[in-house]
Each structure stands twice: as C-alpha cells, then as structure tokens.
Amino acid sequence: MPLVPIVRELRSRGHAVRWYTGRKYAQAVEASGAAFEPFVHARDYDDAHFEGAFPGRNGRAGLRQIQFDMEHIFVGQIEGQLQDLRNVARSWPHDLVLADQTVAAALLHEELGGPPCALLGVLPLGIPSRETGPFGLGLAPDASALGQLRNGLLSWAAQRVIFGRISRELQAVCRRIGVRSRDFEFAVAPTLMLQPSVPAFEYPRSDLPPQLHFIGPLIPEPPARPLPTWWPDVLASQRPVVLVTQGTLATNPRQLIIPTLEALANEDVLVIAAGVRDAAALGPLPKNVRVADFVPFFQLLPHVSAYVTNGGYGGVQQALTCGVPCVVAGKSEDKAEVAARVAYAGVGLNLRTDRPSPQRLRGAVRTLLEDARFREQAQKLSAHLRSHDAPREAAQLLEALIVRGERTI
C-alpha cells in the first residue's frame, strides 16, 4: 500500500486522516493511524484476485489488460466512488483529498465542488507528452521531429482506436454526473501531482506540468514477522545472491519463478525465491535455492547482486534504491512500462516477454553479474533515489496545498 508512509507522516504532524479503500485493507489502514472508510457504492474487490469482481480479466495481458482495467476498474467505478466520496464529505468535512491515480472519481469530485485533490502516482509516469508514446506500449521516448510525429500518431490511435470505447464511456459518465466531457487519457491533477520516483528513472520530457513533483520512492515498512530460517545463508554467502519474485498479482510460478530456478540451478549463485505461497508447487528445489512466502525486501536487497522480476513498480524501485540491477520479464498491468524504463536507464535488461525461457534468464543474469556497467548505473540511480524523503516531502507539499488553496504549487 504505497500511501501508508505518507499517512503515517501526516498523522505524526497532527493531521486527521480517513482512508477510503477496499475492506481487504481495513486492518492495514487502521494500523497506519487513519480511520477506515469502505467502498460502499463502488464495487469492493481484492486486487490480488481481480477475476472475482471483474470476470474476464484473467488471460489478458499487455494492452488488452490495460483496456479491460481502464474500462471496468477505472471508468466503471467512477459513479460509485463519487457517491461514496460525497457521502464522506458530508459526514466528515475535510480540507484535501489525496488519491492514488486509479481513483478516477477524486478529480471529478473536486470539479463538482469538493475539496482540492492531489494525485499520487502508483504507476510509471504516463502524462501525455509530445516526446513519448502512449502509455502501455513500453516505447522509449523520442523527442526528434520524426519521433514527435510517431508519438502524435500513436497517441491519436490510442485515444481514438485502442481507448475509443473507453473514451465514449467516460464521456457518458461525465454527462450523467454533470462535468465537462473529456476523452480518456492519463489523469492530470490541476494543482498537485506526486510521483514517488526521481527524474533519473523517468523519460526526459520538456513539457511536464509545473504541478508535478518527484518525491522519491515510498519504501514500505516490513511487517513484524520472523526472518526465514535460511537467513544466515544469505549473510554468509560468498557467491552472488539472486532474488526472484513475481509480486502479488501474477501468482502462477511457471511464468517466472520456476524458469528462473531452472535457469540458475547449476550456476554458482544463491537464489532466493520470494513471495512463494505454495512451495510444493515448485517441485524439487535445486540445492542453491531458498524459498519463502515473506522476505523483508529492504533488509535483503543490500545482499543481492541481481533482481529477477516481472516488473512491479514498487519492487523495482526498492531494488534500485539499494543499487541492485534488474532483469525484467513482464507485460501485464504497467509492467511493460517499468521494464522499458529499466532498459532506458541502463540499470538492467528488458526481456520483452512475461514467459521467458530458462536459457534467456540464465543469459540475462550472467550479463548483469559479469558486466559491471549495470551495477554502476544502478548505484548512480540509487544515489538519486536515496536523496529523497518521500513521506516528508509529500506531507510538506500537501500542507502547502491546503494553505495556498487552489494555486499550483
């Protein structure tokens, strides 16, 4: 939950906070110091099991999955979210809304007279720009004349063709709730946008809005759980440690974890497979493999030489904060965009697939371990990431927005 560190910082400064989210997170919300406000009219769902609330999502990847999410989880939730936000505002008047960018109703609530809304990015930066292609394609930026022509044509096609139906649905929603009609595109808050990253891990753009602030990574506090029994093996390892994980959404270990274990079974490395809910599903483990459901990432990463991942934004930034280069193999959700940024920044390799072969994985890990340039670039990026205190910077900007009202800050 990316917002937790910010909520804790706000509470430490004496601010009252209520958090509107799914019931799955009620306990975590209350542990952060915020009061819990549940989805009531909006559809409640478990973001680790979308299929239960949004049938038809499974089996989609890349742009098809982004299309589905934008239609059903983004636009389809607006009216229910808006009704909930209005009810909260009536029962608990407040000065400001901080919304993650997937809560589309928050900005529309502001347009309808609600309090000022700041947006927190939970995905790589997808603000429309003449120097980048449309979000979701995983394209590198191109600010040349031909590149800007490419970007413009692709953006037009994305808006009119790929997301055309979603734009029409959004326009219909806008008419029903009484706000200005608009096409579907990456949301831009008019007063304040917080991006939990650094410019060095983003594409250069000359046309970014002035209200956008990079605040550095939001590093989650690990839960109070015992370390795995094999933890001393990590501390004593004289060989490179390779960490592999698929995050919380992609749970089929045959996509990445099992191929990675096969790829590195005979390599002189120690392999840590994290986030494995069912170790038995992995079959017999090679001698150099250690497995756990939970691993404290930020405690483990200083000992890691290479990180193999499907491209979760938070996990990749945690690895890079510790100067660890990445092998990224992912196409679902925003993962193609994360992978493209890893390659562009020179801090790892983009395998451009979500089902890599053991041979490709072995070659990629060997490249990161043998070519010092990747670790050097990751360590340079680490210095940028570590120069920020994201919760403090976010709280200061939010306080300034309350004081200054509607002015861009």
Domain assignment of residue 221, yes or no? no
SS3 string, 225-241, reads CCCCCCHHHHHHCCCCE
Note whether 352 and 332 are same-domain residues.
yes
Query: Are the C-beta atoms of 215 and 393 separated by less than 8 Å?
Result: yes
Note whether 299 and 376 are same-domain residues.
yes
Domain assignment of residue 226, yes or no? no
Sequence-distant (≥ 6) Cβ neighbours of residue 310 within 8 angstroms? 246, 247, 250, 255, 256, 328, 329, 330, 332, 335, 354
Domain assignment of residue 225, yes or no? no
Amino acid at position 248, single letter = T
What is d(CA 11, CA 370) in angstroms, rounded to the nearest whole number?
46
Q: What is the dihedral of CA 79, 85, 86, 91, to 10 degrees?
A: 150
Per-residue pLDDT at 249: 66
Residue-averaged pLDDT of the chain: 92
What is d(CA 4, CA 322) in angstroms, rounded to the nearest whole number?
21
Domain assignment of residue 175, yes or no? yes
| pLDDT, tens digit (0-9, with 9 covering 90-100), for 297-324 | 999 999 999 999 999 999 999 999 999 9
Sequence-distant (≥ 6) Cβ neighbours of residue 139 within 8 angstroms? 132, 133, 154, 340
| pLDDT, tens digit (0-9, with 9 covering 90-100), for 97-124 | 999 988 989 999 999 999 999 999 999 9
Whose tokens are 């395998």? That residue is 351
What is d(CA 322, CA 300) in angstroms, rounded to the nearest whole number?
10
* pTM for this predicted structure: 0.91
Note whether 205 and 238 are same-domain residues.
no
Domain assignment of residue 129, yes or no? yes
Note whether 392 and 373 are same-domain residues.
no
What is d(CA 2, CA 317) in angstroms, rounded to the nearest whole number?
12
Report residue 407's pLDDT band, with 50, 70 and 90 as the boundaries: very low
Note whether 33 and 178 are same-domain residues.
yes
Residue-range definition of the domain harbouring residue 277: 231-386
Structure tokens at 216: 């550095």
Which span out of 132-136, 155-159, 228-232, 250-254 was modeled with the highest average pLDDT?
Answer: 228-232
Domain assignment of residue 118, yes or no? yes
Structure tokens at 256: 């990445």
| pLDDT, tens digit (0-9, with 9 covering 90-100), for 345-357 | 999 999 999 899 9
Average pLDDT score over residue span 168-182: 92
Note whether 311 and 207 are same-domain residues.
no
What is d(CA 385, CA 321) in angstroms, rounded to the nearest whole number?
6
Note whether 250 and 364 are same-domain residues.
yes
| pLDDT, tens digit (0-9, with 9 covering 90-100), for 226-278 | 899 999 999 999 999 999 998 766 678 889 999 999 999 999 999 999 988 88
Whose tokens are 């997170």? That residue is 25
What is d(CA 256, CA 308) in angstroms, rounded to the nearest whole number?
8
Note whether 240 and 280 are same-domain residues.
yes
Amino acid at position 90, single letter = R
Domain assignment of residue 53, yes or no? yes
Average pLDDT score over residue span 337-341: 96
Domain assignment of residue 224, yes or no? no
What is d(CA 227, CA 217) in angstroms, rounded to the nearest whole number?
24
CATH number at residue 259: 3.40.50.2000
Structure tokens at 131: 């120097």
Q: What is the dihedral of CA 26, 32, 33, 36, to 10 degrees?
A: -20
Strands of the sheet containing 117-120, edge to edge, are 97-100, 117-120, 192-195, 212-214
What is the count of structural domains for the chain?
2
Sequence-distant (≥ 6) Cβ neighbours of residue 173 within 8 angstroms? 75, 78, 79
Note whether 195 and 244 are same-domain residues.
no
